[in-house]
Chain A
Amino acid sequence: MRGIFFALAGGFFLTFQSVANATISTGIGTWQAATMTQFTGFVLALLIVVMLGDRSYLNLKTVPPLYASGGMLAAVVLYSNMTAVHRMGVTLTIGIFLIAQLVAAVMIDSKGWFDMAKQRIGRTQIAGLLLMIAGVIVLKW
């Protein structure tokens, strides 16, 4: 039960975040919104790290630089998300984001790229993706 609540709340926060970012970008501009939300999020996360007395960041030296720099991709993610929400609404934006996310996951997992465990892609996964694409088409028809 608790797990279900957290998962549903996680989805709620993700959607809320897209909406808030889109609204903020209307008020002050897209790059301003991206910079501000990432900055305030960082300050808060840093506070949590300090409060927890967490020193695991010392292990960062052992992380390959490519993986450690993943956060920079957020600039592209935020810009695309805000612009897409403005142009076609939240539902459609999320629908297409999810499809692209899972297609990319299929590609990475099937090849075992980026140190991910190589996995065979099942028929149910392809069927799931097709169902999602059908959903987006119905949504926009």
Chain B
Amino acid sequence: MAIGILLALLGGAFVCLQNTFNANVKKHVSVWSTTALVLLLGFLASLAAGLAFEGSRLFEFQAQPWFWFSGILGVGVVACVTQGVQILGPSRAISLIMVSQIFFGLMWDTLGWFGLEKVAFTWQSLLGVLLISGGVLLFQLGPRLEQHNALKRKSVGMDGSARRPL
């Protein structure tokens, strides 16, 4: 359990770091070229780590055919996230994406699809997911609300010339 939590904290921090680096690449390079580069480097890094830890045993495996199509999911992620951000803007899109992620997680744990170990559904876990979702929405959309209120307060309190919301 403790190891799982520590790894998830490390992994999440690295996701953010990677998104930050990728955002800088996308200033110069298109989304799909960036995605191809990121996946190529991810492949090389995983290959290197695998060889370091397991040597040639890395290549001794028997994959089910569908394993080879797993890459489609990553492409689905990039396509949907890019479209969502373009239409809704980053803060609204990312908040929806994260809320969707955690709710589908609860669904998956409950149903145990794809050979995943079932985790029994409880009302408590639904409450936990609702709290996490609320936190995500507050985090992503809160700054806009604060801005909005500051603007209102200013325009009411002073001469109404608050052009630059802080």
How far does the Cβ of B32 sit from chain A's closest Cβ, in whole Å? 5
Asked whether A141 lies within 8 Å of B45 as measured between CB atoms, the reply is no
Asked whether A135 lies within 8 Å of B39 as measured between CB atoms, the reply is no
Assembled-state Cα–Cα distance A115/B25 (Å): 11
Collect the chain A residues with CB atoms within 8 Å of residue B125's CB. Answer: 91, 139
Asked whether B109 lies within 8 Å of A89 as measured between CB atoms, the reply is yes
Tell which of B14, B84, B108 touches A80, judged by Cβ atoms closer than 8 Å: B14
Asked whether B124 lies within 8 Å of A141 as measured between CB atoms, the reply is yes
Residue of A nearest to B116 (CB): A19
Assembled-state Cα–Cα distance A96/B68 (Å): 29
Per-residue 0/1 for B40-56: is the Cβ within 8 Å of any A Cβ (1 yes, 0 no)? 11111111111001100
Tell which of A9, A83, A90 touches B80, judged by Cβ atoms closer than 8 Å: A9
Query: Using a CB–CB distance below 8 Å, which chain A residues touch chain B?
Result: 2-4, 6-24, 26-29, 31-46, 48-49, 52, 54, 56-57, 59-60, 62-64, 66-81, 83-105, 108, 113-116, 122-125, 127-141
Asked whether B36 lies within 8 Å of A49 as measured between CB atoms, the reply is yes
Tell which of B3, B24, B96, B145 touches A64, judged by Cβ atoms closer than 8 Å: B24
Asked whether A41 lies within 8 Å of B71 as measured between CB atoms, the reply is yes
Asked whether A54 lies within 8 Å of B33 as measured between CB atoms, the reply is yes
How far does the Cβ of B40 sit from chain A's closest Cβ, in whole Å? 5
Can you show 29 pairs from A to B with CB atoms below 8 A apart?
Answer: A6-B80, A7-B84, A11-B99, A16-B76, A17-B73, A21-B70, A31-B50, A41-B72, A42-B40, A60-B33, A70-B17, A70-B22, A71-B38, A73-B14, A73-B21, A81-B8, A90-B109, A91-B106, A93-B4, A100-B9, A100-B10, A105-B16, A108-B20, A123-B146, A124-B138, A127-B138, A128-B134, A132-B132, A134-B135
Collect the chain A residues with CB atoms within 8 Å of residue B101's CB. Answer: 11-12, 14-15, 94, 98
Interface size class of B (residues with CB under 8 A): 35 or more
Starting from the known contacts A93-B105, A98-B12, A135-B130, 9 additional A-B residue pairs (CB-CB under 8 Å) come to: A2-B87, A40-B72, A78-B42, A80-B10, A89-B109, A98-B98, A104-B17, A132-B136, A138-B131
Tell which of A14, A40, A62 touches B70, judged by Cβ atoms closer than 8 Å: A40
Asked whether B8 lies within 8 Å of A84 as measured between CB atoms, the reply is yes
Assembled-state Cα–Cα distance A26/B162 (Å): 58
Asked whether A15 lies within 8 Å of B105 as measured between CB atoms, the reply is yes
B77 within 8 A of A: yes
Question: Given known contacts A10-B97, A45-B32, is B18 in contact with A77 (CB within 8 Å)?
Answer: yes
How far does the Cβ of B154 sit from chain A's closest Cβ, in whole Å? 16
Collect the chain B residues with CB atoms within 8 Å of residue A98's CB. Answer: 12, 98, 101-102, 132, 136
